[in-house]
Amino acid sequence: MTKHTVLVKFPVREEVKKTNKFFEFIDGDGFDKVLGKVTKGLFSTILFLGIPYFFYVLVQAFFMG
């Protein structure tokens, strides 16, 4: 019977620091700012692209149909 060794790699302090910084970002004010900008961008995209397309569909339905 052969013996096998198992190597267990524990997180290095640098990895733990990166993880902690990531969790602090998500839990902190930075994530709220990023999410707010993304939401504003998506809303602007809907307004500037969605409403003109809706009018185009209405014109096609009533006048060309």
Mapped onto helix, strand or coil, the DSSP state of residue 39 is: helix
User: Is residue 1 in some structural domain?
Assistant: no
Q: What is the pLDDT of residue 1?
A: 64
Q: What is the pLDDT of residue 12?
A: 74
DSSP conformational letter for 64: -
User: Is residue 54 in some structural domain?
Assistant: yes
Give the length of the chain.
65
Residue 42's domain comprises 37-65
User: Is residue 21 in some structural domain?
Assistant: no
Encode the chain (65 residues) as per-residue pLDDT tens digits: 677 777 777 767 777 888 888 888 888 888 999 999 999 999 999 999 999 999 999 999 998 86
Q: How many domains does the chain have?
A: 1
Find all residues with CB under 8 Å of 11, minimum gap 6, and list them: 19
DSSP conformational letter for 45: H
Q: What is the pLDDT of residue 46?
A: 92
Model pTM score: 0.55
User: Is residue 59 in some structural domain?
Assistant: yes
User: Is residue 15 in some structural domain?
Assistant: no
